[in-house]
Amino acid sequence: MKSRLTLLCLLAATILPGQTPPPTSPTPPPRPPPRQQTMRPEILGQRGIVAAGRHYSVSAGTRILEQGGNAIDAGVATVFAAAVVEISHFGFGGESPVMVYDAKTKQVYVINGQGPAPKAATPALFAAKGKVDGNGPLGATIPAVLDAMALVLERFGTMRLEQVMAPAIAFADGFPMYALLRENMASNRQQTEAYKWGHLYYAGGRLAEVGEIFRQPNLAATLRTIVAAERDALKKNPDRSAAIRAGRDAFYQGDIARRIVEANRAEGGVFTYEDLAHYHGAIEAPVTTLFHGFEINKAGAWNQGPVMLMALNILEGYDLKAMGLHSTDYIHTVHEALKLAYDDRNAFLGDPAFAQVPLKGLLSKAYAAERRKLIAPQASLEHRPGDPFAFDPDVKPPAVRYLPHTQGTKNPESGGDTTCVNTVDAEGNLFSATPSSGWVLGGAFLAGDTGVPLSNRMQAFDLDPASPNLLVGGKRPRTTLSPTIVRKDGKPFLAMSTPGGDSQDQQVLNVLLNVIIFKQELQIAIESPRLNSNHAHSSFDNHPDAPGQLEIESRIPTTVLDELRARGHVLRVLPPYGMNSGVVAVGVDQATGTLRGGSDLRRERYIFGW
C-alpha cells in the first residue's frame, strides 16, 4: 500500500507546469427530475394537429390536412363536422367567432362570426314576453356559421366548400350515436319536440341507441344545396372565391333562407328574409396586449375577449412566480384581478357599431395600474367597475353610466354549452374557433324542414337602456365565445379555446399563466388545477351574480382553501377535475419548430396530429 502511494506521488510530481493532467473519469451529469405525469400525452407533430370536442370532428380536419389542405381548411371542415355531430353543444344555425394567424402575411385576424338580432327585435317585445331563456323562435340571432366559415375559407384557405363540407355531409347521412349526445337528446327531448319540427331528431318516434346510426337527412339536403350552388358557379366561372360566395348565398339569399324565416315566424319569431339576405360578417383586426413578452390576441368589444387582456394587464404588476403556483397569495390575486376585469366587461363592452366603448382606456397599462390599487389583502364582495374614459380621451362618457345588475334570479352556474376547434399546420398557420348555440340543451328549435337548429344567443342581451349591451335590432349581443391566438416575437405560439360561457377567458387564462409564468409543458398546464370566479353578473338569462364566489378544484391543498376562506373568498369546491371547461390548445415550439397540442380531460375533448 505504501509503495503504491509513493508511486502516485512520484507520477504527480512529474507533471510539469502547463501540462494537462491525465484524464480522469468524467463526473456523470445530474439526473433530470422525473417528468410530471399527465392523464393524457402531449401531442407532437410536423404536418398538422387538429383539436376539437369530438373524435368525429377531429377526423374531419385530419382528413383535410391529409388531402393537402392547410390549417384553415382543416379548421373550417372541423367546425362544419361539429355542427352535425356535436349538436348537444353546437349546431349549424349557431355562431362561430374565429381567429386566424396567417403565415403568409404574418398577421392575426378576427372573423366576427356572431349573428345580430333580427331587425324587428326590441326590448319592449322581450320585456312583454319575458326574458328569453333557452332556445326558441325568439331566442335566435341570425345564423352566422356558414358566413364565417365561407369568409375565412375564401380569404385564408385553399379549398372549396365542397371539399371542406364533405365530411359534414357524410356525417349528416349518418354516424354512430355516442353516449354523451344520446344523454343530452334524451333529457331534452320534451323541450325539443315542443316545437313543430323537433321530431326530426327522433325518427320514427324514438331516439337512436348508442352505436346505432343517427341520421339527419334534412340537414344533409341543406348542406348539399350549398355545395351544389358552389359547383354550379364554378361551371360558369372557375373563380374559387366567387364560387364560395355563391354557395354561401344559397343559404342566406335563396329558398333555404325563406324556409328558415317561415319556420321561425310560424312559431312566434320575428325573422325576416331581409335579415338573412342582408347579413354579412367581417374580417377585423384583433385587440392585443403584451404580457411577459407574449402578444395575446383576442376579438373586439362585441366579444368578452378583452376581459382576459384586462386581467393580464392587472396581473402583470405582480411577481406571480414568487408567490408560487396555487399558493394562497396567487389564487387571491388572480381572483381579485378577474373580479375587476369582469365588472368592467359588464359595464363597458358591447357591439361597437351601437355602443361607445372606451376600449383604448380599458386596455391601457395605466388604467390597469389604477385598477391594481384596489386589490387588498382581503377579498372584495363588491362590484367595482372603473372609469376607463379618463384613459381614453377619444370616447365621450355617456350621460348615464351603466352599473351591472341582476335582472331576476337564477342559478349562476355556467351551462354546458359550446365547443371549440383549434388547428395548426407545418407552415405555422393557426386557426382558433368557439362554435356555439343551435344546440339540444334546453330544447333545439329546428327551422322547418331545413334541419337547421337555430341559436339562443338573444338571451345574452341586456334590457337596461343604459347598458352597452342593450338589445337593439341588427345589433350583435356581447358574446362569451372567445378564441385566442398567442404570438412570441411575432411568431405563432398557441391557438386556444374552450367551452364554458363566462368562464371561457378565465379557463384559458389559467392555462396561459401556467405556460408563460410557470413554464409548464402544454398538457401539464391544461391538466393543472383550475380556479374560476362567479363574482360578476352572468352574460346569460337574467344576468345573476354570486358575489365573491370562487370555484376551485379540490386538488388545491386544504390549508390553502382554509386560508382563502379566511380572506373572505366564498368557495365552491369542485371535484378534482370538476371545472366546467374543455380547453384545447395547439401551437408551435419555437425552439424546434415542432408542432404541439394538448386537450382537456374535464370534458370530452379530442386531438390528433402527426
What predicted TM-score, i.e. pTM, was given to this entire model? 0.93
Residue 365 has pLDDT above 50, yes or no: yes
Domain ranges of the chain: 43-287+405-609, 304-391
Residue range 90-124, pLDDT digits in tens? 999 999 999 999 999 999 999 999 999 999 999 99
Under 8 Å between Cβ of 444 and 135: yes
Give the pLDDT confidence score for residue 546 in this predicted structure. 96
Distance CA 64, CA 62 (A): 5
Q: Which of 50, 447, 511 is nearest to 257 (CA)?
A: 447
Residue range 41-98, pLDDT digits in tens? 999 999 999 999 999 999 999 999 999 999 999 999 999 999 999 999 999 999 999 9
Name the band, by pLDDT with cuts 50, 70 and 90, for residue 417.
confident
Residue 332 has pLDDT above 80, yes or no: yes
Tell me, yes or no, if the two domains 43-287+405-609 and 304-391 fold the same way: no
**C-alpha separations of 79 from 23, 87, 133, 177 in Å:** 63, 12, 25, 19
Domain 304-391 classification at class level: mainly alpha
Name the band, by pLDDT with cuts 50, 70 and 90, for residue 29.
confident
Residue range 455-514, pLDDT digits in tens? 999 999 999 999 999 999 999 999 999 999 999 999 999 999 999 999 999 999 999 999
Task: Provide DSSP, 70-128.
Answer: -HHHHHHHHHHHHHHH-TTT--TBSB--EEEEETTTTEEEEE---PPPPTT--HHHHHH
Residue range 367-415, pLDDT digits in tens? 999 999 999 999 999 999 999 999 999 999 999 999 999 875 554 444 4
Q: Which of 510, 529, 307, 538 is nearest to 413 (CA)?
A: 538
Q: For residue 384, how many C-alpha atoms fall within 13 Å in the half-sphere facing its CB?
A: 16
Q: Which of 528, 479, 478 is nearest to 508 (CA)?
A: 528
Residue range 262-275, pLDDT digits in tens? 999 999 999 999 99
CATH 3.60.20.40 assigned to 43-287+405-609: yes
Under 8 Å between Cβ of 548 and 532: no
Give the pLDDT confidence score for residue 25 in this predicted structure. 60
pLDDT above 90 covers what percent of the chain? 88
Distance CA 587, CA 65 (A): 16
Distance CA 544, CA 428 (A): 41
